[in-house]
Amino acid sequence: MRAAGTPPQAVGLVVPGIVDSERGVAVHSENLGWRDVPYRELITARTGLPVGFGHDVATAGRAELMLGAARGERDVAVVVVGTGIAAALFVDGVPLLGHGWAGELGHSVVDPRGAHCVCGADGCLEAIASAAAIARRYAAVTGEPVAGSREVLERAQAGDARAREVWDGAIEALAAGIRQLAAILSPQVVVLGGGLSRAGDALFAPLTAAVARHVPPHRVPELRPAKVGAHAGLLGAALLGREAIA
Ligand SMILES: [Zn+2]
């Protein structure tokens, strides 16, 4: 029970992996090794508070839809490009969850003869175009380790042809992934977040051109940079927590 005058409280919790936000269960995380952990129940039992619970990308997507770059839109994909690539999908304003299995855009194949992916397939989008993959691919081609995708971009801009090839290959792969989204879900807006989206025009200008070049006869989605910032996932979970109070 809360004292009179104190605002209602809730917990916002985000986790990676496969997350069934409707049941409040972290179904599977390859990196953290958990299976079917009933987080909502556990945290509610510990705190006595309502819990807004979801996948970090799904909740970041919710924050972008309600407060950020996709505010006021209905058909939206929020694609987060970092160590991996995943998407939060909204169809007519409703999240498309698939019990936690929807939105694994990083494992859609964009080049069947492309790089091997951790999931076992070849040519997955995130094996070519994630920030980690860009750095890894450049290091593999040149034998020179780099700090991250930003350094590959800087080298490309300074005239390094091998860096340019890796960067442009990532752009083409991302464009192919976005075209798949356009063909299947036809989002009006694709919001790009995560570390790579901070590359600004060096990403958005060629990516917008590459998507538009091949996308007809589908609706060409508008690409926008994420707005909410690094804590979008937590903010989205807080929004869910607020809904849990209501
Ligand atoms: Zn994969």
54 with 110, same domain: the answer is: no
CA of 84 to the centre of ligand 1 (A): 9
How many distinct structural domains can be found in the chain?
2
Span of 3-17, 134-148, 153-167, 172-186 with lowest mean pLDDT = 3-17
Same domain, 108 and 203: yes
SS3 189: strand
Same domain, 186 and 197: yes
Q: Is the dihedral of CA 124, 152, 89, 86 positive or negative?
A: positive
Distance from Cα 86 to the centre of ligand 1, integer Å: 11
Q: For residue 23, how many C-alpha atoms fall within 13 Å in the half-sphere facing its CB?
A: 12
Are 200 and 78 part of one and the same domain? Answer: yes
Residue 215 has pLDDT above 80, yes or no: no
- Considering the chain, what percentage of its residues have pLDDT values greater than 70? 96
Q: How many residues does the chain have?
A: 246
64 and 89, same domain (yes or no): no
Q: Please name every residue paired with 37 in a beta bridge, in sequence order, or none if there are none.
A: 26
Distance CA 157, CA 69 (A): 28
Give the phi and the psi of residue 199 in degrees, each rounded to 5: -70, -10
Return d(Cα 239, Cα 223) in angstroms, integer: 24
Q: The domain containing residue 164 runs over which residues?
A: 71-225
Question: Which CATH number fits the domain that encloses residue 186?
Answer: 3.30.420.40
Note the pLDDT of residue 3: 52
What is the Å distance from ligand 1's center to 188 Cα? 26
How much distance in Å is there from the Cα of 118 to the middle of ligand 1? 6
Q: Using 50, 70 and 90 to split pLDDT, how confident is the model at 31?
A: confident
**Residues 19, 119 share a domain:** no
Is the confidence at residue 213, as pLDDT, over 80?
Answer: yes
- Average confidence (pLDDT) over 64-70: 96
